[in-house]
A and B are shown apart, each in its own frame.
Chain A
Amino acid sequence: MSQYILRRLMIAIPSLLGISLVLFVVLALAPGDPFSELATNPNVPPEVQAALRAKFGLDDPIYLRYLHWLAAMAQGDWGFSFVSRVDVDTLILQRLPTTLYVVGSSQLLALLIAIPVGVYAATRPYSIFDQLANTFAFIGFSLPTFFTGILFILVFSVKLDWLPFVYTEVPGSGIKWAIEMIRQAIMPVMVLGLFQAASMTRFVRSAMLDVIRLDYVTTARAKGLGQAKVIVKHVMRNAMIPVVTLIALQMPAVFGGAIVTEQIFRIPGIGSLLISSILANDTPVVMAVTFVFACLVVLFNLIADVLYGWLDPRISFR
């Protein structure tokens, strides 16, 4: 098992190298670089600009710059943000916990809704409950988060004034701080979580329905185990195999989707960092954040495979 994971991590290295190369080239081809603002600044003489560009190696050929970046990355140097004037890794580490808090809670919410609803709907297909669940699921994943987000803000912040609509740094600690942290996270977590729950519910339901008709479920029924035990022990255990894989593989997309939500609620997370650094031509930060997303994709693929093998005894790690 540990050998399998180690080997998978080794295989991940070339793919990460490839991803980083593509990212780097695309960013290098894009117009503008961290010093483009200097060019329009009349206070900076052209020779100073040229000297700075030369000093930071911005006029070197792409492959040299890439090798530079790679060598620095390998030593744990993620680069320096010209806009924020701090190291990129500090910047990311500042922002990451907020994103993980919001994304993690929304995934948890999505699971807490999707699994019971999907399972119950599958045990009573075409019942009123099932129809209602399906209808809400369709509405849920038809509405984009930027729409529901603004709708939530309008209703719960502007009209009812229950919740703050801008996510802020809350000073202090203790119960009050915790309550405030929860209060301001409610809307983004709901928006992201409900959107995820909608598609997950559909998936859980169809995975359950696939299994519920299989022969071994009839075998389990013939043992007189009772509906609840048959569903949980025999149906759910098997139906969760594809669901877990799907959720794990979806995680990177969830981080991507969080970018939009972070913008709406002004959450100081990694997504809004990406947007602001793209707008500010802060190439090192853009490069680092996109690379973190790439690592997440690779990591969750690995997690999906490990979980798959853990859930399904027919798969062995070799």
Chain B
Amino acid sequence: MALLDIKGLKTHFTTDAGVLQAVDGVDISINRGETLCVVGESGCGKTVTAMSILKLIAMPPGKIVEGEIIFEGRDLVPLSSHQLDDIRAKEIGFIFQEPMTSLNPVLTIGEQIAESLRRHEAVTKKQALERTIDMLKLVQIPNAAGRVHHYPHQFSGGMRQRVMIAMALACRPKLVIADEPTTALDVTIQAQILDLLQDMKERFGMAVMLITHAMGVVAETAQRVVVMYAGKVVEEAPVDELFGNPGHPYTKGLIRSIPRIDLDAEHKTRLEAIGGSVPILINPPPGCRFAPRCKYAMSICTEKEPRLREIAPGHRMACHLGDAS
């Protein structure tokens, strides 16, 4: 049984212009101890999907209109925010995108990590502090015992992201959702943070749901990949299968947009980009949502919505291309 099983999730937002279907029928499952990457451009609904799991989206205007989120056999959708509080941080940890703004500026980092421990575990103030220092040591913050009393503005971006990781892992959750944890950081720090995440995953054996728009990150960390486009899952495959045999034109486009340094001068080609941008998901037209940007679009693509179908073991995709039926 999967650790987390999202089935037909629809999260919509009410806006002045109409209902925005940010997530529109998403199925994602994560097994214990697995690293799953969710990729796609900005505006594809990756973050909303992740935030929906713990109901961290603003409600209203957001609303989960349909679907199930089964975590360890229990559906989280009908739970109130109050009931979810026991699962937040304790069972499912969250690492956010912006380390610069995701920490409270007026509280010390130690306080911010310890409050999570004190909420979920029967520890004294002193024990919480000790465990906080241990966590800071684990995420390789130098002079942890001294730094624990510092405020977020006294840390660099990379260090703050380490603090965020320590915070998310403090209660040893079974699943960690990392929402673009490296996007706001520069490349060398990105690599360090990804290594650290990998390290932590091996140490604690938790499952990781890594949301990213960088295919390079996917290739390096994922076991399985889910590609999202315009609020829907368009392809899902084990990582090697996805890179070796991408099915969906959108996935192909994403892979071709990775800069290659392994090719010699003769084989170097201009880096490809996918033309256009993600549509605004208010009253989307029928058919495939990628059709307007797709090189291979056929007449059926604007008429009928493609369903996810298995094209190889563990490899599913939603595209009319090569669809016999």
Partners in one complex: yes
Q: Which residues in A have some Cβ–Cβ distance to B below 8 Å?
A: 213-216, 218-227, 233-234, 237-238, 241, 311-314
Nearest-Cβ distance from residue B208 to partner chain A, whole angstroms? 16
The reply to whether A226 and B104 form a contact with Cβ atoms under 8 Å apart is: no
B134 at the A interface (CB under 8 A): no
The reply to whether A227 and B82 form a contact with Cβ atoms under 8 Å apart is: yes
The reply to whether B96 and A225 form a contact with Cβ atoms under 8 Å apart is: no
The 4 closest A-B pairs by CB, nearest first: A224-B88, A224-B85, A222-B94, A215-B101
Contact bitstring B65-92, A, C-beta under 8 A = 1, else 0: 0000000000000000110111111100
Q: A219 vs B94: C-alpha distance in the bound complex, in angstroms?
A: 8
Nearest-Cβ distance from residue B11 to partner chain A, whole angstroms? 15
The reply to whether B105 and A238 form a contact with Cβ atoms under 8 Å apart is: yes
Which partner residue on chain B sits nearest A311 by CB separation? B106
Measured between beta carbons, the chain B residues less than 8 angstroms from A219 are 94, 96, 102-104, 112, 164, 167
Q: A222 vs B90: C-alpha distance in the bound complex, in angstroms?
A: 10
Which residue, of B85, B86, B96, has the highest number of chain A Cβ atoms within 10 A?
B85
The reply to whether A224 and B106 form a contact with Cβ atoms under 8 Å apart is: no
The reply to whether A226 and B54 form a contact with Cβ atoms under 8 Å apart is: no
Of the residues A218, A223, A227, A238, contact of B106 by C-beta under 8 Å: A238
B56 at the A interface (CB under 8 A): yes
The reply to whether A313 and B151 form a contact with Cβ atoms under 8 Å apart is: yes
The reply to whether B104 and A218 form a contact with Cβ atoms under 8 Å apart is: no
Measured between beta carbons, the chain A residues less than 8 angstroms from B212 are none
Nearest-Cβ distance from residue A35 to partner chain B, whole angstroms? 58
Of the residues B88, B90, B153, contact of A314 by C-beta under 8 Å: B153
Measured between beta carbons, the chain A residues less than 8 angstroms from B120 are 224
B268 at the A interface (CB under 8 A): no
Which partner residue on chain A sits nearest B93 by CB separation? A222
Q: Assuming A219-B96, A238-B104, A313-B153, what are 6 further A-B pairs, CB within 8 angstroms?
A: A216-B104, A218-B56, A224-B88, A224-B90, A224-B116, A313-B151
The reply to whether A222 and B89 form a contact with Cβ atoms under 8 Å apart is: yes
Q: A213 vs B101: C-alpha distance in the bound complex, in angstroms?
A: 11
A224-B119 in contact given A215-B96, A314-B153 (Cβ < 8 Å) = yes
13 A-B residue pairs with CB within 8 Å:
A215-B96, A215-B98, A215-B101, A224-B85, A224-B89, A226-B85, A233-B115, A237-B104, A237-B107, A238-B106, A312-B105, A313-B151, A314-B151
Q: A237 vs B115: C-alpha distance in the bound complex, in angstroms?
A: 15
The reply to whether B102 and A215 form a contact with Cβ atoms under 8 Å apart is: yes
Measured between beta carbons, the chain A residues less than 8 angstroms from B103 are 216, 219
Residues B161-214 near A (CB distance < 8 A): 164, 167
Which partner residue on chain B sits nearest A221 by CB separation? B56
A-B contact number at CB 8 A: 78
Measured between beta carbons, the chain B residues less than 8 angstroms from A313 are 105-106, 151, 153
A220-B94 in contact given A225-B115, A313-B151 (Cβ < 8 Å) = no
Measured between beta carbons, the chain B residues less than 8 angstroms from A214 are 101
Which partner residue on chain B sits nearest A211 by CB separation? B104
Measured between beta carbons, the chain A residues less than 8 angstroms from B116 are 223-225
Chain A contact residues: helix, strand, loop or mixed: helix
Measured between beta carbons, the chain B residues less than 8 angstroms from A238 are 104-106
Q: A104 vs B88: C-alpha distance in the bound complex, in angstroms?
A: 44
Of the residues B58, B104, B153, contact of A234 by C-beta under 8 Å: B104
Measured between beta carbons, the chain B residues less than 8 angstroms from A226 are 82, 85, 119
Nearest-Cβ distance from residue B80 to partner chain A, whole angstroms? 10
Nearest-Cβ distance from residue B10 to partner chain A, whole angstroms? 21
Which partner residue on chain A sits nearest B164 by CB separation? A219
Which partner residue on chain B sits nearest A222 by CB separation? B94
The reply to whether A312 and B119 form a contact with Cβ atoms under 8 Å apart is: no
Which residue, of A215, A224, A311, has the highest number of chain B Cβ atoms within 10 A?
A224
The reply to whether B56 and A222 form a contact with Cβ atoms under 8 Å apart is: yes
The reply to whether B105 and A218 form a contact with Cβ atoms under 8 Å apart is: no
Measured between beta carbons, the chain A residues less than 8 angstroms from B88 are 221-224
Measured between beta carbons, the chain A residues less than 8 angstroms from B56 are 218, 221-222
Measured between beta carbons, the chain B residues less than 8 angstroms from A215 are 96, 98, 101-102
Measured between beta carbons, the chain B residues less than 8 angstroms from A220 are 104
Nearest-Cβ distance from residue A315 to partner chain B, whole angstroms? 10
Measured between beta carbons, the chain B residues less than 8 angstroms from A241 are 106
A223-B89 in contact given A237-B106, A311-B106, A314-B153 (Cβ < 8 Å) = yes
Residues B101-133 near A (CB distance < 8 A): 101-107, 112, 115-116, 119-120
The reply to whether B105 and A314 form a contact with Cβ atoms under 8 Å apart is: yes
Q: A224 vs B93: C-alpha distance in the bound complex, in angstroms?
A: 10
Measured between beta carbons, the chain A residues less than 8 angstroms from B89 are 222-224
Residues B279-320 near A (CB distance < 8 A): none
Measured between beta carbons, the chain A residues less than 8 angstroms from B87 are 224
Which partner residue on chain B sits nearest A216 by CB separation? B104
Measured between beta carbons, the chain A residues less than 8 angstroms from B119 are 223-226
Measured between beta carbons, the chain A residues less than 8 angstroms from B54 are 222
The reply to whether A216 and B81 form a contact with Cβ atoms under 8 Å apart is: no
Which residue, of A220, A237, A312, has the highest number of chain B Cβ atoms within 10 A?
A220
Measured between beta carbons, the chain B residues less than 8 angstroms from A225 are 85, 115-116, 119
Nearest-Cβ distance from residue A230 to partner chain B, whole angstroms? 10
Q: A313 vs B20: C-alpha distance in the bound complex, in angstroms?
A: 40
Nearest-Cβ distance from residue B304 to partner chain A, whole angstroms? 38
Which partner residue on chain B sits nearest A314 by CB separation? B153
Which partner residue on chain B sits nearest A313 by CB separation? B151
Measured between beta carbons, the chain A residues less than 8 angstroms from B112 are 219
The reply to whether B90 and A218 form a contact with Cβ atoms under 8 Å apart is: no
Nearest-Cβ distance from residue B87 to partner chain A, whole angstroms? 7
Q: A221 vs B87: C-alpha distance in the bound complex, in angstroms?
A: 11
The reply to whether B96 and A218 form a contact with Cβ atoms under 8 Å apart is: yes
Nearest-Cβ distance from residue A242 to partner chain B, whole angstroms? 13
